[in-house]
Protein backbone atom coordinates (compact mmCIF):
# COMPACT_ATOMS: atom_id res chain seq x y z
CA UNK A 1 0.00 0.00 0.00
CA UNK A 2 1.37 3.39 -0.98
CA UNK A 3 0.65 6.57 0.94
CA UNK A 4 2.39 9.83 1.63
CA UNK A 5 3.03 11.44 5.02
CA UNK A 6 4.48 14.71 3.95
CA UNK A 7 2.73 17.29 1.80
CA UNK A 8 3.90 17.99 -1.71
CA UNK A 9 5.66 21.31 -1.57
CA UNK A 10 3.71 23.95 -3.45
CA UNK A 11 5.53 27.05 -4.65
CA UNK A 12 4.27 30.60 -5.27
CA UNK A 13 0.90 29.92 -3.58
CA UNK A 14 -0.25 31.87 -0.54
CA UNK A 15 -3.29 32.44 1.68
CA UNK A 16 -5.78 30.29 -0.23
CA UNK A 17 -7.63 27.43 1.43
CA UNK A 18 -8.28 24.28 -0.53
CA UNK A 19 -9.41 20.74 -0.02
CA UNK A 20 -6.83 18.67 -1.87
CA UNK A 21 -7.28 15.03 -2.73
CA UNK A 22 -4.63 13.27 -4.78
CA UNK A 23 -4.31 9.55 -5.22
CA UNK A 24 -1.33 7.82 -6.75
CA UNK A 25 -1.45 4.16 -7.64
CA UNK A 26 1.44 1.81 -8.39
CA UNK A 27 1.49 0.29 -11.85
CA UNK A 28 0.69 -3.37 -11.24
CA UNK A 29 -2.12 -5.70 -12.19
CA UNK A 30 -3.11 -6.87 -8.70
CA UNK A 31 -4.52 -3.50 -7.59
CA UNK A 32 -7.52 -3.57 -5.24
CA UNK A 33 -9.65 -0.52 -4.52
CA UNK A 34 -9.63 -1.23 -0.79
CA UNK A 35 -5.92 -0.38 -0.94
CA UNK A 36 -6.25 2.92 -2.75
CA UNK A 37 -5.43 5.75 -0.34
CA UNK A 38 -6.72 9.27 -0.67
CA UNK A 39 -4.71 12.18 0.72
CA UNK A 40 -6.89 14.90 2.14
CA UNK A 41 -6.35 18.21 3.90
CA UNK A 42 -8.37 21.35 4.66
CA UNK A 43 -5.86 23.96 5.80
CA UNK A 44 -4.04 27.08 4.67
CA UNK A 45 -1.45 26.46 1.99
CA UNK A 46 1.15 28.29 4.12
CA UNK A 47 0.96 25.39 6.56
CA UNK A 48 1.24 22.61 3.96
CA UNK A 49 4.97 22.15 4.28
CA UNK A 50 4.72 20.91 7.87
CA UNK A 51 1.47 18.95 7.69
CA UNK A 52 1.03 15.20 7.89
CA UNK A 53 -1.86 13.89 5.86
CA UNK A 54 -4.66 11.76 7.18
CA UNK A 55 -4.70 8.31 5.60
CA UNK A 56 -8.07 7.29 4.23
CA UNK A 57 -8.52 3.99 2.41
CA UNK A 58 -12.20 4.17 1.57
CA UNK A 59 -14.06 5.35 -1.51
CA UNK A 60 -17.51 5.36 0.18
CA UNK A 61 -17.85 8.99 1.24
CA UNK A 62 -21.64 9.21 1.63
CA UNK A 63 -24.28 7.56 3.76
CA UNK A 64 -27.52 6.09 2.45
CA UNK A 65 -28.80 8.21 -0.44
CA UNK A 66 -32.35 9.06 -1.36
CA UNK A 67 -31.61 7.91 -4.93
CA UNK A 68 -28.52 5.69 -4.81
CA UNK A 69 -26.35 6.28 -7.90
CA UNK A 70 -25.97 2.54 -8.43
CA UNK A 71 -29.77 2.33 -8.60
CA UNK A 72 -29.83 5.09 -11.21
CA UNK A 73 -27.14 3.27 -13.23
CA UNK A 74 -29.14 0.04 -13.18
CA UNK A 75 -32.42 1.82 -13.91
CA UNK A 76 -31.47 2.88 -17.44
CA UNK A 77 -31.23 -0.59 -19.02
CA UNK A 78 -34.14 -1.81 -16.88
CA UNK A 79 -36.42 0.88 -18.33
CA UNK A 80 -35.68 -0.12 -21.92
CA UNK A 81 -35.80 -3.84 -21.22
CA UNK A 82 -38.99 -3.49 -19.20
CA UNK A 83 -40.75 -1.53 -21.97
CA UNK A 84 -39.68 -4.15 -24.52
CA UNK A 85 -40.79 -7.14 -22.40
CA UNK A 86 -44.08 -5.55 -21.37
CA UNK A 87 -44.95 -4.42 -24.90
CA UNK A 88 -44.09 -7.77 -26.46
CA UNK A 89 -45.87 -9.64 -23.67
CA UNK A 90 -49.09 -7.67 -24.08
CA UNK A 91 -48.95 -8.22 -27.85
CA UNK A 92 -48.72 -11.98 -27.36
CA UNK A 93 -51.44 -11.91 -24.70
CA UNK A 94 -53.72 -9.99 -27.08
CA UNK A 95 -53.05 -12.36 -29.99
CA UNK A 96 -54.16 -15.32 -27.85
CA UNK A 97 -57.55 -13.75 -27.11
CA UNK A 98 -60.60 -14.70 -29.13
CA UNK A 99 -62.51 -12.13 -31.18
CA UNK A 100 -65.22 -11.91 -28.51
CA UNK A 101 -62.64 -11.33 -25.76
CA UNK A 102 -60.89 -8.66 -27.79
CA UNK A 103 -64.20 -6.85 -28.35
CA UNK A 104 -64.92 -7.05 -24.63
CA UNK A 105 -61.61 -5.37 -23.74
CA UNK A 106 -62.12 -2.71 -26.42
CA UNK A 107 -65.53 -1.92 -24.95
CA UNK A 108 -64.03 -1.85 -21.44
CA UNK A 109 -61.43 0.66 -22.60
CA UNK A 110 -64.02 2.89 -24.30
CA UNK A 111 -66.17 2.94 -21.16
CA UNK A 112 -63.20 3.87 -18.99
CA UNK A 113 -61.18 5.93 -21.45
CA UNK A 114 -61.52 9.07 -19.34
CA UNK A 115 -59.83 7.27 -16.45
CA UNK A 116 -57.04 5.97 -18.69
CA UNK A 117 -56.50 9.31 -20.42
CA UNK A 118 -56.74 11.21 -17.14
CA UNK A 119 -54.10 8.96 -15.59
CA UNK A 120 -51.86 9.52 -18.60
CA UNK A 121 -52.27 13.31 -18.43
CA UNK A 122 -51.64 13.28 -14.67
CA UNK A 123 -48.48 11.23 -15.16
CA UNK A 124 -47.26 13.67 -17.80
CA UNK A 125 -47.94 16.64 -15.53
CA UNK A 126 -46.10 14.98 -12.66
CA UNK A 127 -43.17 14.30 -14.97
CA UNK A 128 -43.10 17.95 -16.12
CA UNK A 129 -43.22 19.19 -12.53
CA UNK A 130 -40.38 16.83 -11.59
CA UNK A 131 -38.35 18.12 -14.53
CA UNK A 132 -38.92 21.78 -13.64
CA UNK A 133 -38.12 21.22 -9.97
CA UNK A 134 -34.77 19.67 -10.88
CA UNK A 135 -33.69 22.48 -13.19
CA UNK A 136 -30.82 24.49 -11.73
CA UNK A 137 -28.67 27.33 -13.01
CA UNK A 138 -24.97 26.76 -13.48
CA UNK A 139 -23.05 29.44 -11.52
CA UNK A 140 -20.42 29.82 -14.25
CA UNK A 141 -22.36 29.81 -17.53
CA UNK A 142 -25.78 30.81 -16.10
CA UNK A 143 -27.29 28.04 -18.23
CA UNK A 144 -30.22 26.10 -16.79
CA UNK A 145 -29.65 22.35 -16.69
CA UNK A 146 -31.47 19.23 -15.49
CA UNK A 147 -29.76 17.49 -12.53
CA UNK A 148 -31.44 14.66 -10.62
CA UNK A 149 -28.71 14.18 -7.99
CA UNK A 150 -28.00 16.26 -4.90
CA UNK A 151 -24.44 17.14 -3.85
CA UNK A 152 -23.82 13.92 -1.92
CA UNK A 153 -25.25 11.82 -4.73
CA UNK A 154 -23.10 13.67 -7.27
CA UNK A 155 -20.00 12.83 -5.23
CA UNK A 156 -21.06 9.19 -4.97
CA UNK A 157 -21.76 9.01 -8.71
CA UNK A 158 -18.37 10.55 -9.46
CA UNK A 159 -16.77 7.99 -7.16
CA UNK A 160 -18.62 5.17 -8.91
CA UNK A 161 -17.47 6.38 -12.33
CA UNK A 162 -13.93 6.80 -10.97
CA UNK A 163 -13.84 3.21 -9.75
CA UNK A 164 -15.14 1.96 -13.10
CA UNK A 165 -12.42 3.77 -15.05
CA UNK A 166 -9.69 2.78 -12.63
CA UNK A 167 -10.76 -0.83 -13.10
CA UNK A 168 -10.83 -0.37 -16.87
CA UNK A 169 -7.29 1.04 -16.99
CA UNK A 170 -5.77 -0.71 -13.97
CA UNK A 171 -2.97 -2.24 -16.04
CA UNK A 172 -2.00 1.12 -17.54
CA UNK A 173 -1.70 3.33 -14.44
CA UNK A 174 1.52 5.35 -14.36
CA UNK A 175 3.49 5.20 -11.05
CA UNK A 176 3.91 8.32 -8.94
CA UNK A 177 7.63 8.57 -9.75
CA UNK A 178 6.88 9.49 -13.37
CA UNK A 179 7.98 13.11 -14.05
CA UNK A 180 4.65 13.86 -15.73
CA UNK A 181 2.97 14.01 -12.31
CA UNK A 182 5.11 16.92 -11.14
CA UNK A 183 4.54 18.77 -14.40
CA UNK A 184 0.77 18.27 -14.39
CA UNK A 185 0.28 19.04 -10.68
CA UNK A 186 2.13 22.33 -11.12
CA UNK A 187 -0.19 23.34 -13.98
CA UNK A 188 -3.35 22.24 -12.17
CA UNK A 189 -2.33 24.17 -9.04
CA UNK A 190 -1.78 27.31 -11.08
CA UNK A 191 -5.20 27.07 -12.75
CA UNK A 192 -6.97 26.42 -9.44
CA UNK A 193 -5.26 29.26 -7.58
CA UNK A 194 -5.87 31.80 -10.34
CA UNK A 195 -9.55 30.82 -10.48
CA UNK A 196 -10.15 30.67 -6.73
CA UNK A 197 -12.93 33.27 -7.06
CA UNK A 198 -15.14 30.55 -8.56
CA UNK A 199 -16.99 28.80 -5.74
CA UNK A 200 -17.10 25.60 -7.79
CA UNK A 201 -13.29 25.57 -7.81
CA UNK A 202 -12.85 26.17 -4.08
CA UNK A 203 -15.46 23.61 -3.03
CA UNK A 204 -14.11 20.69 -5.05
CA UNK A 205 -11.75 17.87 -4.19
CA UNK A 206 -9.57 16.93 -7.14
CA UNK A 207 -7.82 13.74 -8.13
CA UNK A 208 -5.22 13.19 -10.83
CA UNK A 209 -4.44 9.92 -12.59
CA UNK A 210 -2.00 9.45 -15.47
CA UNK A 211 -2.64 6.51 -17.77
CA UNK A 212 -0.36 5.03 -20.41
CA UNK A 213 -2.74 5.59 -23.32
CA UNK A 214 -3.14 8.20 -26.09
CA UNK A 215 -6.61 9.32 -24.95
CA UNK A 216 -7.64 12.13 -22.59
CA UNK A 217 -10.69 12.70 -20.43
CA UNK A 218 -12.06 13.76 -17.04
CA UNK A 219 -14.86 12.45 -14.87
CA UNK A 220 -16.58 14.84 -12.48
CA UNK A 221 -13.76 15.97 -10.14
CA UNK A 222 -11.36 13.26 -11.31
CA UNK A 223 -8.80 14.33 -13.92
CA UNK A 224 -7.50 11.54 -16.14
CA UNK A 225 -4.54 12.48 -18.32
CA UNK A 226 -3.51 9.90 -20.87
CA UNK A 227 0.22 9.89 -21.46
CA UNK A 228 0.03 9.95 -25.26
CA UNK A 229 -1.27 13.52 -25.29
CA UNK A 230 2.06 14.73 -23.87
CA UNK A 231 3.80 13.75 -27.10
CA UNK A 232 1.49 16.00 -29.12
CA UNK A 233 1.54 19.24 -27.11
CA UNK A 234 4.34 21.67 -27.90
CA UNK A 235 4.55 23.37 -24.52
CA UNK A 236 2.97 23.81 -21.09
CA UNK A 237 0.56 26.43 -22.45
CA UNK A 238 -1.05 23.85 -24.73
CA UNK A 239 -1.07 21.32 -21.89
CA UNK A 240 -2.73 23.95 -19.69
CA UNK A 241 -5.44 24.41 -22.31
CA UNK A 242 -6.17 20.67 -22.30
CA UNK A 243 -6.24 20.46 -18.51
CA UNK A 244 -8.42 23.56 -18.23
CA UNK A 245 -10.85 22.00 -20.71
CA UNK A 246 -11.04 18.78 -18.69
CA UNK A 247 -11.36 20.70 -15.43
CA UNK A 248 -14.21 22.69 -16.99
CA UNK A 249 -16.12 19.46 -17.57
CA UNK A 250 -15.80 18.82 -13.85
CA UNK A 251 -16.68 22.36 -12.74
CA UNK A 252 -19.73 22.39 -15.02
CA UNK A 253 -20.87 18.95 -13.75
CA UNK A 254 -21.08 17.67 -17.31
CA UNK A 255 -20.84 14.00 -16.36
CA UNK A 256 -23.67 14.39 -13.82
CA UNK A 257 -25.74 16.42 -16.27
CA UNK A 258 -25.22 13.91 -19.08
CA UNK A 259 -26.25 11.03 -16.86
CA UNK A 260 -29.34 12.92 -15.67
CA UNK A 261 -30.18 13.84 -19.25
CA UNK A 262 -29.72 10.28 -20.50
CA UNK A 263 -31.99 8.94 -17.75
CA UNK A 264 -34.61 11.54 -18.69
CA UNK A 265 -34.50 10.46 -22.35
CA UNK A 266 -34.76 6.79 -21.35
CA UNK A 267 -37.86 7.52 -19.27
CA UNK A 268 -39.44 9.43 -22.15
CA UNK A 269 -38.67 6.57 -24.53
CA UNK A 270 -40.37 3.87 -22.44
CA UNK A 271 -43.84 4.64 -23.86
CA UNK A 272 -42.76 4.68 -27.56
CA UNK A 273 -40.79 1.45 -27.04
CA UNK A 274 -43.75 -0.17 -25.31
CA UNK A 275 -46.19 0.89 -28.07
CA UNK A 276 -43.74 -0.19 -30.78
CA UNK A 277 -43.36 -3.74 -29.48
CA UNK A 278 -47.04 -4.00 -28.59
CA UNK A 279 -48.28 -2.90 -32.03
CA UNK A 280 -45.94 -4.37 -34.68
CA UNK A 281 -44.57 -7.83 -35.55
CA UNK A 282 -41.26 -8.57 -33.83
CA UNK A 283 -39.08 -8.19 -36.93
CA UNK A 284 -40.63 -4.85 -37.89
CA UNK A 285 -40.60 -3.62 -34.29
CA UNK A 286 -36.90 -4.46 -34.01
CA UNK A 287 -36.11 -2.60 -37.24
CA UNK A 288 -38.12 0.46 -36.21
CA UNK A 289 -36.54 0.36 -32.74
CA UNK A 290 -33.00 0.42 -34.17
CA UNK A 291 -33.84 3.14 -36.69
CA UNK A 292 -35.50 5.25 -34.00
CA UNK A 293 -32.50 4.95 -31.69
CA UNK A 294 -30.15 6.08 -34.46
CA UNK A 295 -32.41 9.03 -35.27
CA UNK A 296 -32.44 10.10 -31.61
CA UNK A 297 -28.65 9.82 -31.48
CA UNK A 298 -28.14 11.85 -34.64
CA UNK A 299 -30.73 14.55 -33.93
CA UNK A 300 -30.39 14.89 -30.18
CA UNK A 301 -27.80 12.89 -28.20
CA UNK A 302 -24.74 13.64 -30.34
CA UNK A 303 -25.52 17.37 -30.85
CA UNK A 304 -26.13 17.66 -27.10
CA UNK A 305 -22.76 16.06 -26.34
CA UNK A 306 -21.00 18.34 -28.82
CA UNK A 307 -22.61 21.38 -27.22
CA UNK A 308 -21.14 20.36 -23.85
CA UNK A 309 -17.70 20.00 -25.45
CA UNK A 310 -17.98 23.48 -26.94
CA UNK A 311 -19.05 24.82 -23.56
CA UNK A 312 -16.04 23.19 -21.88
CA UNK A 313 -13.78 24.67 -24.58
CA UNK A 314 -15.08 28.18 -23.85
CA UNK A 315 -14.98 27.91 -20.06
CA UNK A 316 -11.59 26.19 -20.21
CA UNK A 317 -10.28 29.08 -22.31
CA UNK A 318 -11.41 31.51 -19.59
CA UNK A 319 -9.80 29.42 -16.83
CA UNK A 320 -6.55 29.35 -18.78
CA UNK A 321 -6.66 33.09 -19.51
CA UNK A 322 -7.03 33.92 -15.81
CA UNK A 323 -4.08 31.60 -15.12
CA UNK A 324 -1.92 33.70 -17.48
CA UNK A 325 -1.66 30.95 -20.09
CA UNK A 326 -0.94 32.01 -23.67
CA UNK A 327 -4.48 31.24 -24.86
CA UNK A 328 -3.46 31.55 -28.50
CA UNK A 329 -1.89 28.12 -28.10
CA UNK A 330 -5.43 26.68 -27.88
CA UNK A 331 -5.90 27.47 -31.56
CA UNK A 332 -2.48 26.04 -32.39
CA UNK A 333 -3.21 22.79 -30.54
CA UNK A 334 -6.49 22.12 -32.35
CA UNK A 335 -4.94 23.21 -35.64
CA UNK A 336 -2.24 20.61 -34.97
CA UNK A 337 -4.89 17.98 -34.34
CA UNK A 338 -6.59 18.98 -37.59
CA UNK A 339 -3.35 18.60 -39.53
CA UNK A 340 -2.67 15.23 -37.89
CA UNK A 341 -6.14 14.10 -38.98
CA UNK A 342 -5.55 15.33 -42.52
CA UNK A 343 -2.29 13.38 -42.57
CA UNK A 344 -4.16 10.28 -41.27
CA UNK A 345 -2.04 10.33 -38.10
CA UNK A 346 -5.03 10.95 -35.84
CA UNK A 347 -8.65 9.91 -36.03
CA UNK A 348 -10.70 12.14 -38.30
CA UNK A 349 -13.87 13.28 -36.54
CA UNK A 350 -17.07 13.31 -38.61
CA UNK A 351 -18.99 16.05 -36.73
CA UNK A 352 -22.54 14.79 -37.09
CA UNK A 353 -21.51 11.23 -36.16
CA UNK A 354 -19.35 12.13 -33.17
CA UNK A 355 -19.74 13.18 -29.55
CA UNK A 356 -16.99 15.77 -30.13
CA UNK A 357 -16.76 18.64 -32.64
CA UNK A 358 -14.32 18.29 -35.51
CA UNK A 359 -10.79 19.49 -34.79
CA UNK A 360 -11.05 22.20 -37.42
CA UNK A 361 -14.36 23.42 -36.01
CA UNK A 362 -12.83 23.73 -32.55
CA UNK A 363 -9.86 25.57 -34.02
CA UNK A 364 -12.13 28.13 -35.71
CA UNK A 365 -14.48 28.46 -32.74
CA UNK A 366 -11.66 29.16 -30.28
CA UNK A 367 -10.06 31.60 -32.71
CA UNK A 368 -13.30 33.63 -32.73
CA UNK A 369 -13.23 33.77 -28.91
CA UNK A 370 -9.58 34.80 -28.77
CA UNK A 371 -10.10 38.57 -28.54
CA UNK A 372 -12.20 38.31 -25.37
CA UNK A 373 -9.87 35.68 -23.92
CA UNK A 374 -6.84 37.95 -24.38
CA UNK A 375 -8.75 40.85 -22.81
CA UNK A 376 -9.54 38.63 -19.81
CA UNK A 377 -5.88 37.63 -19.57
CA UNK A 378 -4.77 41.26 -19.49
CA UNK A 379 -7.43 42.26 -16.96
CA UNK A 380 -6.22 39.43 -14.69
CA UNK A 381 -2.87 41.15 -14.17
CA UNK A 382 -0.90 38.80 -16.40
CA UNK A 383 2.32 39.76 -18.18
CA UNK A 384 2.06 40.86 -21.78
CA UNK A 385 1.95 38.04 -24.30
CA UNK A 386 4.87 37.35 -26.58
CA UNK A 387 4.50 39.71 -29.56
CA UNK A 388 5.24 36.76 -31.85
CA UNK A 389 1.85 35.09 -32.28
CA UNK A 390 2.20 31.27 -32.26
CA UNK A 391 -0.77 31.08 -34.64
CA UNK A 392 1.16 33.04 -37.25
CA UNK A 393 4.13 30.70 -36.94
CA UNK A 394 1.90 27.64 -37.26
CA UNK A 395 -0.03 28.84 -40.30
CA UNK A 396 3.20 29.66 -42.13
CA UNK A 397 4.25 26.01 -42.04
CA UNK A 398 3.80 23.93 -45.15
CA UNK A 399 2.62 20.34 -45.12
CA UNK A 400 6.25 19.30 -45.56
CA UNK A 401 7.23 21.42 -42.55
CA UNK A 402 4.56 19.71 -40.46
CA UNK A 403 5.81 16.30 -41.55
CA UNK A 404 9.40 17.14 -40.59
CA UNK A 405 8.24 18.54 -37.24
CA UNK A 406 6.12 15.49 -36.44
CA UNK A 407 9.07 13.23 -37.25
CA UNK A 408 11.26 15.20 -34.86
CA UNK A 409 8.67 14.76 -32.11
CA UNK A 410 8.36 11.05 -32.77
CA UNK A 411 4.73 11.26 -33.87
CA UNK A 412 5.77 9.96 -37.29
CA UNK A 413 8.06 6.97 -36.84
CA UNK A 414 10.44 6.30 -39.74
Tell me the CA distances in angstroms from 338 to 240, 293, 333, 349, 393, one per residue in order.
19, 30, 9, 9, 16
Tell me whether residue 246 is one of the annotated catalytic residues: yes
Cα 165 to Cα 72: distance, rounded to the nearest angstrom: 18
Sheet holding 54-56, edge to edge: 20-22, 38-41, 54-56
DSSP state of 292: H
Q: Which residues contact 153 (CB under 8 A, 6 or more apart)?
A: 62, 65, 66, 67, 68, 69
Q: Catalytic pick from 153, 189, 246, 329?
A: 246
Q: Which residues pair with 17 in a beta bridge?
A: 44
User: Based on the number of CB atoms within 10 Å of its own CB, is 276 exposed (0-12), middle (13-18) or buried (19 or more)?
Assistant: buried
Cα 297 to Cα 318: distance, rounded to the nearest angstrom: 30
- Residues identified as active-site: 246
Amino acid sequence: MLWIRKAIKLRHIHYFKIKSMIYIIPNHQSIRYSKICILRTDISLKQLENINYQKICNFHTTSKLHIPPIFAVILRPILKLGAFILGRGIKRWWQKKSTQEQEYYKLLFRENRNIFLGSLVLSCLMFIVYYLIHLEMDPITKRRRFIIFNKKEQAALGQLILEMHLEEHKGLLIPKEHPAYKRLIKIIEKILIKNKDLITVENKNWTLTIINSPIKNAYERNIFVFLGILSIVDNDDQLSIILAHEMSHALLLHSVEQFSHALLIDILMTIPIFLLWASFPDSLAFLLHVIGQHIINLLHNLPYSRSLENEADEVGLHLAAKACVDVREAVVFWATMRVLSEMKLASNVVPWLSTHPAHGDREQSLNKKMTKAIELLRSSGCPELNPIDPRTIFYKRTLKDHEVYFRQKGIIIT
